[in-house]
Structure 1
Amino acid sequence: MAEVTVRLAGREDWSAIWPIWHRVVAAGDTYTWDPATSEDEARGLWMPPEPAVTIVAEREDAVVGTALLKPVQPGLGDHVANAGFMVAPEQAGGGIGRALAEFTLDEARRRGYRAMQFSAVVASNVRAVRLWESLGFAVVGTVPEAFRHARDGLVGLHIMHRSL
């Protein structure tokens, strides 16, 4: 399988990010955003201004995944990072999520963040939970029935954390 390259995204990458973003969110099984989110609204959510940064993973010169790194809170909480990750569904299981995660953790450290917190990891998303745990994250709490999963009904959302 071809190598995965991860880099910071530019505005010109949106046209390759959007189809991934749309398919992942429309599936209704990993993100709390409305599956009918418009492209313009999605662009604002996934490519916000600094200090946020958008990241892409490429394989054979095609964007196959993306991440968003930003402060979890403004002001006095901006030393803790938050991140979101999406992989093209047909590319799942090919190491793209791990490559994005490792790059994003390094980028968070480089930008001076002291920890990373995920506030809404869908509890039934076993693949993601295992990945985050393998990278040193711990579930620090679960909000019961906080997510209306497209297939599983009401499921919990994990809050996961690790120091950097």
Structure 2
Amino acid sequence: MEIRPATDADHEAILDIVAPTLAAGETYAIARDLDRVGAGAYWFGPTHEVFVAQEDGTVLGTYYLMANQQGGGAHVANCGYMTAPAAQGKGVARAMCEHSLLRAKERGFRAMQFNHVVSTNARAVALWQKLGFDIVGTLPQAFNHPGHGYVDSYVMFRSLI
């Protein structure tokens, strides 16, 4: 598997992953009714450095890296990750997270924080914990899940120094 910066040629393959994931509304606190243009505007936001994980020319996943906050909080990174359904459970998310931790260090970030990890996303929560992230806060019923109703979200944090 290769992880590399996304190019314009990857745009449609990335949207094939991002648009349905956002529309499902199970893991991101983003409007569920975004069309492909809106999903692309979100994922390729001006502050996002976007990467793809690919194998044999097929995009298996994508992630973005950005500063979590501005000003005094700009030393903490934030990322979003998505894996193609056919590639789930094959180590793609782990590889992307490990890559993002290295890239964040290269860019001078001192920590990484995930602001809104939905508690029902148990695979992601477990993976982030295996990779050294701690749950540092619980946001009670902060996410309206389409199948479970109001569920908790976690703030997860890991030092990079």
TM-score (norm: length of structure 1): 0.94
Indicate if the aligned counterparts of 1:69 and 1:104 stay in contact, CA closer than 8 A. yes
1:32 aligns to 2:24 (yes or no): no
- Tell me the residue number matched to 1:41: 38
Counterpart-to-counterpart distance in 2, 1:114 and 1:130: 22
The 5-angstrom pairing of residues 129-140 of structure 1 reads 129-140=125-136
Q: Secondary structure at the match of 2:10?
A: helix
Counterpart-to-counterpart distance in 2, 1:124 and 1:42: 22
Q: Secondary structure at the match of 1:102?
A: helix
Structure 2 gap ranges (5+): none
Identity within the alignment, %: 43
Structure 1 gap ranges (5+): none
Q: Secondary structure at the match of 1:73?
A: coil
1:118 aligns to 2:114 (yes or no): yes
Instruction: Tell me how far 1:99 sits from its aligned partner.
Output: 0.7
Indicate if the aligned counterparts of 1:140 and 1:159 stay in contact, CA closer than 8 A. yes
TM-score (norm: length of structure 2): 0.95
Amino acid at match of 1:40: V
Moved over 6 A (4+): none
Aligned Cα root-mean-square deviation (Å): 1.0
Instruction: Tell me how far 1:80 sits from its aligned partner.
Output: 0.3
Deviation string, structure 1 residues 53-74 (Cα, Å, up to 9, x no partner):
0010102211110001000001
Counterpart-to-counterpart distance in 2, 1:158 and 1:135: 16
Q: Secondary structure at the match of 2:53?
A: strand
Deviation string, structure 1 residues 97-129 (Cα, Å, up to 9, x no partner):
001101111100000000000000001111000
- Tell me the residue number matched to 2:86: 90
Indicate if the aligned counterparts of 1:17 and 1:66 stay in contact, CA closer than 8 A. yes
- Tell me the residue number matched to 2:102: 106
Indicate if the aligned counterparts of 1:70 and 1:83 stay in contact, CA closer than 8 A. yes
Counterpart-to-counterpart distance in 2, 1:13 and 1:76: 34
Indicate if the aligned counterparts of 1:24 and 1:89 stay in contact, CA closer than 8 A. no
Could you tell which deviates more after superposition, 37-46 or 66-75? Answer: 37-46
The number of equivalent residue pairs is 160
Instruction: Tell me how far 1:44 sits from its aligned partner.
Output: 1.8
Indicate if the aligned counterparts of 1:120 and 1:157 stay in contact, CA closer than 8 A. yes
